[in-house]
Amino acid sequence: MENRMLDKVYMLGQSVWLDNLSRQILNNGELEQLITEKGVRGLTSNPAIFQKAISGSDAYDEAIEKLANEGLERIKIYESMAIEDIQRAADLFRPVYDASNGEDGCVSLEVQPSLVYDTQGTIEEGRYLWNAVNRPNVMIKVPGTKEGLPAITQLLSEGINVNVTLLFSVDRYQAVTEAYMEGLEKRLEQGESIRNVVSVASFFLSRIDVMVDPMLKDIIENKPDHAEKAKSVLGETAIANAKQAYKVFEEAFSSERFQKLAAQSGRKQRVLWASTGNKNPDYEELRYVYPLIGPDTVNTMPGDTLDILLEKGEEPTNQVAEGMGQADKAMATLKELGIDMEKVTDDLEKEGVAKFEKPFNQLLDAIEEQRKAHA
């Protein structure tokens, strides 16, 4: 075991998952190696990841040709290939799932981006993907939009594991914890067990700083009276926002409402830190890793961020609940500077939807071209 950095992180209460999936890493043994030798404990995928995997290599060409010859439409070709990849990944992670009593070893597959504002469509797609993958350690990714909240509750009430994605707002995250508990309560009312229902809430990080930093730089350059105040929070928004979300997590899952669910073997819905690759060369490479290590958390990392942690990572410490007062102060400062975080998080949600919808449509177009060539 040459590098068990991830075990040290795990001892502090955080599971490191991989935010990437492709047929290449399944075929060449890379994913298996990350699990068995490095300690990666789960995996997330999204439409952009599949677009990159399928369009960026010839690993899927044979499958597209075979499925096209069977007369499948492009969306069904995509689903068939994605489901196969998710099944293979889930099987590789199954020992982790079993050893952790279902807490880790989960693999996430997202509903189609076009359903992001469609509650009923999301429920139906979630059921379909859950049954098609047919693995206990799959999670269906559902965007945490207003329309997504009732879908989250319904799917959980049916015993379907859910990864709530695209969360930027602390208020929306609060609503997600309630949707989660409501789902478990509904399931108990139906006389069903909640013991094996697993969920995470994916809170996005780096994209927040990417949006807020230019606003702060504009204040620094053009409003000298506020420059020092703006400098004091430059690059601090995402971490401060995440720490406030963690405070909500602690409150929600120590509440009397949750204690009743815990008494019935209900699990906490862990916070998952997403978008943790650093997008700003001025910031340290693991900016969105170390400050958020701590109990009941997951960090899903893109491959290059994971590599940096494994190769250059320092001794991890439990930091997620530290600096809460500083986080509150940073968010209050943003408000004083006229930065409306509600608008920022609303815009980020819309942008996040577009960032999945565009590559997904490009992927379907690319599949269609190949389908026509083989049909």
As beta bridge partners, residue 109 has 140
Q: Residue written as tokens 């703006």? A: 230
pLDDT at 55: 87
pLDDT at 129: 98
From residue 337, alpha-carbon distances to 214, 222, 340 in Å are: 13, 13, 9
184: tokens are: 């478990």
pLDDT at 57: 86
| Distance (Å, whole) CA 286 – CA 367 | 36
Q: Which residues are catalytic?
A: 141
Tens-place pLDDT, residues 129-171: 999 999 999 999 999 999 999 999 999 999 999 999 999 999 9
CA-closest candidate to residue 159, choices 184, 179, 181: 184
Residue 282 CB neighbour total at 10 angstroms? 9
CA-closest candidate to residue 58, choices 27, 34, 17: 27
Range of the domain at 12: 5-374
Tens-place pLDDT, residues 33-59: 999 999 999 999 998 999 999 988 899
The total number of structural domains that make up the chain: 1
Tens-place pLDDT, residues 337-347: 999 999 999 99
- For strands 107-110 and 270-274, give the pairing: unpaired
CATH number where 16 lies? 3.20.20.70
- Mean pLDDT, the chain, rounded, equals 96
Per DSSP, the three-state class of 71 is coil
Q: Residue written as tokens 């990080």? A: 205
Tens-place pLDDT, residues 294-329: 999 999 999 999 999 999 999 999 999 999 999 999
CA-closest candidate to residue 35, choices 9, 6, 57, 55: 6
CA-closest candidate to residue 243, choices 312, 294, 307: 294
77: tokens are: 């070709």
**Cα 181 to chain center, whole Å?**
19
pLDDT at 1: 40
CA-closest candidate to residue 193, choices 270, 267, 94, 101: 267
As beta bridge partners, residue 167 has 203
| Distance (Å, whole) CA 125 – CA 162 | 12
Answer whether residue 250 shows pLDDT above 80: yes
**pLDDT above 90 coverage of the chain, percent:** 93
| Half-sphere exposure in the Cβ direction for 207 (13 Å, CA) | 20
CA-closest candidate to residue 249, choices 317, 187, 200: 200
Cβ proximity of 91 and 43 under 8 Å: no
As beta bridge partners, residue 107 has 43, 138
Full-model pTM: 0.96
